[in-house]
Structure 1
Amino acid sequence: MKNEESYMNEKLNLSPWEQFKTPFLLLGGIAIGSLIGIVAPEIGQAVSPLGDIFLNLLFTIVVPLVFTSISAAVGNMVNMKRLGKILGSTVMVFLATGAVAAACVLVWVNLFSPSAGTNIIMESAEIGVTQSAGEMLVGALTVNDFSLLLSKSNMLPLIIFSIIFGFCVASCGGDESPVGKFLNNLNMIIMKFVDVIMAVAPIGLGAYFANLIGEFGPQLLGDYGRAMIVYYPLCLLYVLIFFPTYALIAGGKTGLSRMLQNIFTPAVTAFATQSSAATLPVTKNACDKMGVPKDVSDIVVPMGCTMHMDGSVLSSIVKIAFLFGVFGTPFTGVSTYTMAIAVAILSAFVLSGAPGGGLVGEMIIVSMFGFPAEAFPLIATLGFLFDPAATSLNASGDAIASMLVARVVEGKDWINGKLSA
């Protein structure tokens, strides 16, 4: 924890350029590319292969990234009796709050469409063939041949396979076994590979937007503005309504009071750093002040850093609704909503801690709903614009989740007993 606190202090003492270098570079690349597309569309068309190369690099790394990151994370888990109860409660709370977030955003995007008035037209897309709920479930979760797991079109089956594989590694020696050590080292290599790809992201995204703006016009930027106007108030309403509700369920009036006194610091820290990992020591400190048992927060907060992503669930469904609008397909129907909720929760639940996990989640959206590869940069850019609010909601939500897990594990009087002690 001391190393994490030192990292946090260093992070907050950096200059604005050092602290936000990557966001500045990405925004700069997009801005320059957009300007080129407006002023010289023919140049935008000429540099479009650079954008395609960047996209292809991302798509080729996605399968090994998902497998190694998830298998290594699950394979490293330890197993104790109380830990099992805490883990079960944690998963239950994460899924429940994710489902609430998904239901809220479905109502919201139907009231305020993020793609209303969009001028982006991509007529080449086909939004798949209609399937029954059973066929959709089987096709979404499984494949009938191992080789099919190696395709980016089958992300959810790969995720499930990776989780099961990780559990098997954990039961056969965990991170001390030869396979566990190999997975951890391979995961580090994949992380580095993603870093190398993201080093050229400003050029890749700039080239893509130079071509996109040149083809569809500067009004494209207005479409992103509309999506942000839909998403940011949604996050604020979710915090104002559901955070107090969860705190009351967890600890009554005392829980609500403790939450209100301590939630602001992790929320602001996460918004500033745009990193749940960097905010982890602050969130843990907030949990201690709220009265959450140490062994509960020691487990829930690190897991929440990678798996509890209500803000990401909100953003995922806004992105899905945005793409449906861009491609002229009504975002309606029980099967569509069910699939949107499943994709949003699962991608946030298992991928957020992986390097580039947000990008992988966006690839899942593109592949699961049958959008063409050209749709990926559209929601990847939305993801970047949504990230500060999503990270703030994610990280502060981890403290709320710790309170709920403590309530399940230790009973309704946990907070009074803890504060008395």
Structure 2
Amino acid sequence: MKRIEIGLLPRILLAIALGVGCGFFFPEALTRVFLTFNALFGNFLNFIIPLLIIGLVVPGIADLGNSAGRLLLITAALSYGFTLFSGFFTYGACTLLYPWLLEGDSLSRMEESASVVEPYFTVDMPPLLGVMSALIFSFVLGIGISRLSGSVLKGLFDEFRKVIVLVIERVIIPLLPFYIFGIFLSMTVSGQVAGVLEVFVKLIALIFVLTLVLLLVQFSTAGAVAHRNPLRLLRTMLAAYVTALGTQSSAATIPVTLDRTLRCGVRPSVAGFVVPLCATIHLSGSTMKIVACALAIITLGGLPVDAAAFCGFILMLGITMVAAPGVPGGAIMAAAGLLQSMLGFDEVAVGLMIALYIAMDSFGTATNVTGDGAIAVIVDRIAE
């Protein structure tokens, strides 16, 4: 019989539901078993994140450098520009809306409440280097390798990327539902889960609206540059949006994105270059989700929002995201290091970020690939 594969999103949603349900009747001894797993898995995440950044970012930057050219520079600049706009637009919108949308919600006592039940034991797993050190090392090495032809280091880090991808696909992603289950089990036991689920629904609705606004801005820009009707361009790309909602993968949606881009009047030579490249480096939707969820957790925790720190986080996030989307769950995993080092997120906050991000994964991916069409239209016009 054919094996039935259950996607990551259904598994995460099932884990949330089971965590909430089991929290009402699990005995303390069994709850402590899952809290022990969460403690071990959380420490493992802290250990692997710097290595994950190196393994994804170094070859990602090196690959971009090897294919450098005028179209590459234009496409990369547009992708990064739209990604930054998405981050700062989301930050501004959420700063204005959260005081009203999240009024009365709070997670400020989560850590104290969750500590009522302790894990049986934990094992320290100190990382080999800090997150910022890993980022700086990755940027320097990636740029350096891109300048060397036939570099032995390039092959070495390509192999290292394969190892990191295996760790993500075979270890982190399969265990994430159990980790999320443990988080919501703990929150149910501590009496915080009702408020968290209510926040989930509010954020999903808000981010869906923000993605629509973002797409209108992107296609209005493309329409102005190419002297075309932006709404007609956006309507043409809707097939790619709907396809991405189902595949949850920019790469898997490339054939549809390419077809829709050609229907927008983009030349085949330009579309064939821009669409696959943007599937890797354009992450406006993913950035929007991460910024919105991070700001929500900071707000719910009753912490002050440091505008300068958050702006720096968005700038770094735009660069870090370049290497992430080809790997399932790679975007939020690559961002986890920045969340910890630049925004001070702890294990519980990172776990909530992962759950929120994956719950809205389809919207972010669909926004990414639809925006690829807008970038292709602009590049085609500039390259004429």
- Bin of the TM-score, shorter chain as denominator length: 0.7 to 0.9
Contact 2:80 2:318 in 1 (8 A): yes
2:317 aligned with 1:348 = no
2:350 aligned with 1:379 = no
2:220 aligned with 1:245 = yes
Note the C-alpha offset of 1:321: 1.2
Contact 2:237 2:260 in 1 (8 A): yes
Note the C-alpha offset of 1:375: 1.1
Note the C-alpha offset of 1:371: 2.4
Note the C-alpha offset of 1:120: 1.9
TM-score, reference length from structure 2: 0.85
Contact 2:286 2:331 in 1 (8 A): no
CA 1:228/1:243 → structure 2, altered by over 3 Å: closer, same or farther?
Answer: same
The one-letter code of the counterpart of 2:201 is G
Counterpart Cα distance in 1 of 2:301 and 2:292? 14
Corresponding residue for residue 115 of structure 2: none
Corresponding residue for residue 172 of structure 1: 148
Counterpart Cα distance in 1 of 2:94 and 2:108? 20
Note the C-alpha offset of 1:41: 6.7
CA shift digits 1:228-275 (9 cap, x unpaired): 222122112322x31331221231126x36624520111111111110
CA 1:151/1:213 → structure 2, altered by over 3 Å: closer, same or farther?
Answer: farther
- The farther-off stretch of 377-386 and 353-362 is 353-362
Corresponding residue for residue 44 of structure 1: 31
CA 1:192/1:341 → structure 2, altered by over 3 Å: closer, same or farther?
Answer: closer
1:368-407 correspondence runs (5 A): 368-407=342-381
2:215 aligned with 1:228 = no
SS at match of 2:23: helix
Counterpart Cα distance in 1 of 2:35 and 2:288? 31
SS at match of 1:324: helix
Counterpart Cα distance in 2 of 1:92 and 1:374? 35
- The farther-off stretch of 211-220 and 315-324 is 211-220
Counterpart Cα distance in 1 of 2:313 and 2:160? 31
> How big is the alpha-carbon RMSD for the aligned residues of Structure 1 and Structure 2?
2.8
Counterpart Cα distance in 2 of 1:279 and 1:265? 10
Contact 1:320 1:340 in 2 (8 A): no
Corresponding residue for residue 104 of structure 2: 117
Corresponding residue for residue 217 of structure 1: 192
CA shift digits 1:35-68 (9 cap, x unpaired): 1123337343442111122222222222222212
State how many pairs are aligned.
Answer: 364
2:306 aligned with 1:338 = no
CA 1:150/1:289 → structure 2, altered by over 3 Å: closer, same or farther?
Answer: farther
Counterpart Cα distance in 2 of 1:372 and 1:56? 11
The one-letter code of the counterpart of 2:325 is S
Counterpart Cα distance in 1 of 2:110 and 2:358? 25
Aligned with residue 34 of structure 1, among 16, 20, 25: 20
CA 1:66/1:382 → structure 2, altered by over 3 Å: closer, same or farther?
Answer: same
Contact 2:324 2:334 in 1 (8 A): yes
Note the C-alpha offset of 1:160: 4.0
Counterpart Cα distance in 2 of 1:119 and 1:39? 25
Corresponding residue for residue 64 of structure 1: 51
Counterpart Cα distance in 2 of 1:350 and 1:122? 35
Counterpart Cα distance in 1 of 2:307 and 2:337? 22
Task: Provide the identity percentage.
Answer: 22
Corresponding residue for residue 260 of structure 2: 286
SS at match of 2:24: helix
CA shift digits 1:266-303 (9 cap, x unpaired): 11111111101111121122222222233433332222
The one-letter code of the counterpart of 1:232 is F
Corresponding residue for residue 94 of structure 1: 79
CA 1:180/1:336 → structure 2, altered by over 3 Å: closer, same or farther?
Answer: closer
SS at match of 1:278: coil
Note the C-alpha offset of 1:396: 0.8
Corresponding residue for residue 250 of structure 2: 276
Contact 1:112 1:230 in 2 (8 A): no
Contact 2:251 2:279 in 1 (8 A): yes
TM-score, reference length from structure 1: 0.78
Corresponding residue for residue 165 of structure 2: 191
Contact 2:65 2:143 in 1 (8 A): no
Contact 1:53 1:204 in 2 (8 A): no
Contact 1:48 1:211 in 2 (8 A): yes
- The farther-off stretch of 215-224 and 303-312 is 215-224
Structure 1 gaps, min length 5 = 1-13, 126-147, 411-421
Contact 1:65 1:190 in 2 (8 A): yes
SS at match of 1:116: coil
Corresponding residue for residue 10 of structure 1: none
CA 1:299/1:92 → structure 2, altered by over 3 Å: closer, same or farther?
Answer: same
Structure 2 gaps, min length 5 = 113-125
Aligned with residue 129 of structure 2, among 139, 147, 151: 151
- The farther-off stretch of 374-383 and 362-371 is 362-371
Aligned with residue 329 of structure 1, among 272, 285, 303: 303
Aligned with residue 207 of structure 1, among 165, 182, 201: 182
- The farther-off stretch of 194-203 and 341-350 is 341-350
2:60 aligned with 1:73 = yes
